[in-house]
Amino acid sequence: MAPRVLIADKLSPAAVRIFEERGVTADVKTGLKKDELLAIIDQYDGLAVRSATKADKDVIAAAKNLKVIGRAGIGVDNVDVPAATGAGIVVMNTPFGNSITTAEHAIAMIFALARQLPAADLSTQAGKWEKNRFMGVELYAKTLGLIGCGNIGGIVAERANGLKMKVIAYDPFLSPERAVELGVEKVELDDLLARADIISLHTPLTDKTRNVLSREALAKTKKGVFIVNCARGGLVDEQALREGLDSGHIGGAGFDVFITEPATENPLFGAPNFVATPHLGASTLEAQENVALQVAEQMSDFLLTGAVSNALNSPSISADEAPKIRPFVALAEKLGAIAGQMVDEDLKSIEIAYVGEVSKLNTKPLTAAALAGVLRPMLAEINMVSAPTIARDRGVAVTESRQELSPVYDSLMRITVAAGSTRRTFAGTVIAGKPRVVEMDGIDVDAPISPLMLFVGNTDRPGFVGALGTLLGANGINIATFDLGRMAAGGQSIALMGVDQVVDDKVLGEMLALTNVTEVRLLSF
């Protein structure tokens, strides 16, 4: 029986043709209400969506036969990826199909603000001919500040350089070498806020980027600055931006994305020199054709052959390799995630060493998984397929080494990250099919990896364990696992704990204030 795919959002007809040519039955049913989707989703092996259909936990729970969700586009905000993973459903996206289109939309927004095109158009068509009312500004020699300079941000930088603008960029993952290649000056956020005539955002929405343009950040900008957001809603404090537009401190803003979508009402609507579009960043014929073709091909390949491409929650591994490689893929991604959450400065390089039996395997998916883990804290929508390309585009040096003889473990994997002036090392192995951490910054430890973990660096002194346990207990934090390691008696030591509850910033601060504690991190996987 041929696999069945539900196309729940409007896609290019090219997608239907691809499915049919490959032998997959594709039903196009757009605009379904949630109860309608819930009633039929169990009939399908695949679900193809854009951004309108919400594949939430209820939909996934009802999708008893669903094997793959394909997102025609980059962001998967409308897909509950953890729920899909728990149900064994592969989630795929098409990470590069609409990059040029989105970048061009940001440039269009900049022009619209600089020359007040929407307001001038309305006035002129109303017969007013207010030639003296609309005094624009040239983009020539203006400073464009990019928050995020990855794939899309880099394209915007290239276009802006063509307009003879000065381009500066804030991006912790942008290397000095890549910045030179793009013709941009790498700066810190406060420097960008103080210097930019126009600020354009090109970063995913993560815990670290949410409200990156907060009320405080907006107050640091130049008077008359233009703000453009064609990336993700939630990167800018919308209420604070409205107040800045009303006061005149913000000269104009162009938004394609909003915190709540569809945005039928918003604090920014009606503000002076505010331009809005309904999430059109990827809305060109070329982009829709590209992502439609990609998602149809990827989903067909998976349903017919088991091949996995551009998966956010599943490694790209052939059927023959799977039994041996999958445990080490899990180890690589989790070690990488530890490393990514343990560094705060600009990432310069990632070194991955394979020791023992693992060095004889195909390490390409392992390295990709490790890179995805390292980069994900800043780039939420990254996956194993896109991680190597994104690391290369951002100038992060990646090296691998292999050593067949392992003195202690049958297999060992070690990740060393250089960030700013620091180098940190994390090593792990697989025992009984499960990943374990066995070394952190040169200190031996032996700990399972839990969904939530606490890392505490401290000086080895009596009373530390008791004080830490008392503090966590007083705040209702249950310790699931507890492992200690130290350099030497009285020297640097670490505690690595699995915990059952999220530890908030207040409790983390109290932990850091404990005597002899030097570092505290909450790690999540």
pLDDT digit string (tens) for 471-493? 999 999 999 999 999 999 999 99
Q: What is the DSSP letter of 193?
A: H
3 state SS of 220: coil
What average pLDDT does this structure show over 415-434? 94
Flag whether the pTM goes above 0.85: no
Written as six digits, the tokens of 179 are: 């910045």
What average pLDDT does this structure show over 82-92? 84
pLDDT band at 452 (very low <50, low <70, confident <90, very high): very high
List, for residues 236-295, the tens digit of each pLDDT value: 999 999 999 999 999 999 999 999 999 999 999 999 899 999 999 988 888 888 999 999
Active site residue 232: yes
Return d(Cα 460, Cα 471) in angstroms, integer: 18
Interstrand relation of 250-255 and 225-229 (parallel, antiparallel or unpaired) = parallel
Q: What is the mean pLDDT of the chain?
A: 93
Q: What is the DSSP letter of 369?
A: H
Q: Name the phi and psi angles at 62, rounded to 5.
A: -85, -15
Which residue is catalytic, options 50, 232, 242, 414?
232
Domains and CATH numbers, the chain: 4-96+286-314 (3.40.50.720), 99-276 (3.40.50.720), 318-441 (3.30.1330.90), 449-525 (3.30.70.260)
CA nearest 230: which of 171, 169, 282?
A: 282
pLDDT at 230 over 70: yes
Three-state secondary structure along 272-330?
Answer: CCEEECCCCCCCCHHHHHHHHHHHHHHHHHHHHHCCCCCECCCCCCCCCCHHHHHHHHH
Return d(Cα 380, Cα 79) in angstroms, integer: 13
Which residue is catalytic, options 20, 243, 261, 400?
261
Active site residue 215: no
- The single-letter code of the amino acid at 493 is S
Written as six digits, the tokens of 507 are: 């409790």
Query: For the CA atoms of the chain, what is the radius of gyration?
Result: 25
Which residue is catalytic, options 50, 105, 178, 279?
279
Query: Cα torsion at 225, 229, 230, 235 (round to 10°)?
Result: 160
Which residue matches tokens 């928050």? 147
Interstrand relation of 397-403 and 411-419 (parallel, antiparallel or unpaired) = unpaired
Active site residue 195: no
pLDDT of residue 29: 97
pLDDT of residue 317: 65
- Sign, Cα dihedral of 94, 97, 103, 108: negative
List, for residues 306-355, the tens digit of each pLDDT value: 778 888 887 666 556 667 888 998 999 999 999 999 998 788 999 999 99
- Distance (Å) of CA 247 to CA 55, 61, 78, 275: 41, 49, 35, 17
Is there a contact between 451 and 502 (Cβ–Cβ < 8 Å)?
no
Written as six digits, the tokens of 305 are: 């052959």
Return d(Cα 289, Cα 55) in angstroms, integer: 22
Return d(Cα 92, Cα 89) in angstroms, integer: 10
pLDDT of residue 316: 67
Which neighbouring-strand residues pair with 494? 457, 485
